[in-house]
Amino acid sequence: MSTPLELDRSLHPATQASATTAPIKSTQRRFRHVTPPPRTVEEPSQHVLDFDGRVRRSGELVDPTPLLVNLARCVTEVIAGVRSLDQLARWVSDDVYLTLLRRVTIAARSRAITGGQARRPRITIGDPRVTHPAGGVVEAVVMVHQPARSRAVAIRLETVHGRWRASVITVL
């Protein structure tokens, strides 16, 4: 039966090659310290990961205007009941998804009570008013015009892993 010291030596790859050496006593062990090279730490707000995996500066993010227009259109269609909320899931945060789900449920119940059907709304999207309150954050208001009324859709986009994601959507 082997002693624990011999067992440790037999498991170590460097000592397997030299089987003729005597066991090393615990007081004779020396450890070789290897310090890793220093890393340069960059601020996370300066660089973001792009869709294709490349890193670029936060000032180089894609223009959020088309996303804002499409989100306003899609949110209006979701509330009208002609688009599935799941289609927006990848573009909105969990809180926004739950808020929209509540609003969609209320609209569907209202249509069921009144006997109305879900019809695709005839809408015209206005130009978004965009502000940049911080790096990687965009706040905008998009006007959605319908024949009977106009609505304002307020959207806050934040960067998550190099892409825009809506953290707040409010339909007024």
The confidence band for 43, taking pLDDT boundaries of 50, 70 and 90, is: very low
Residue 132 lies in a domain: yes
The pTM score is 0.65
Q: Which is more confident, 26 or 66?
A: 66
Per the structure, the complete domain to which residue 113 belongs is given by: 47-171
pLDDT band at 162 (very low <50, low <70, confident <90, very high): confident
∠ CA 77-79-83, rounded to 5°:
45
Look at residue 116 in the predicted model and tell me its pLDDT. Answer: 87
Structural domain includes residue 114: yes
Whether residue 162 lies inside any domain: the answer is yes
Q: What is the pLDDT of residues 7-22, one digit of tens each?
A: 455 555 555 555 555 5
Q: Alpha helix locations (H) across 23-148?
A: 65-80, 94-114
Whether 158 maps to a domain, the answer reads yes
In angstroms, the Cα distances linking 151 to 72, 136, 139, 147, 165 are 10, 26, 17, 11, 22
CATH of the domain at 101: 3.10.450.50
pLDDT tops 70 at residue 114:
yes
- Please state the three-class secondary structure of 80-114 as a single string: HCCCCHHHHHHHECHHHHHHHHHHHHHHHHHHHHH
Q: List the one residue out of 70, 74, 93 whose CA is nearest residue 85.
A: 74
Q: Give the mean pLDDT of the chain.
A: 80
Query: In this structure, is residue 36 part of a structural domain?
Result: no
Query: How many structural domains is the chain composed of?
Result: 1
- 135 belongs to a structural domain: yes
Helices (H), the chain: 4-11, 13-17, 65-80, 94-114
In a domain, residue 151? The reply is yes
Residue range 127-140: mean pLDDT, rounded: 94
- Asked whether residue 41 is assigned to any structural domain, the reply reads no
CB burial of 136-147 (b: ≥16 within 10 Å; e: otherwise) equals: bbbbbbbebeee
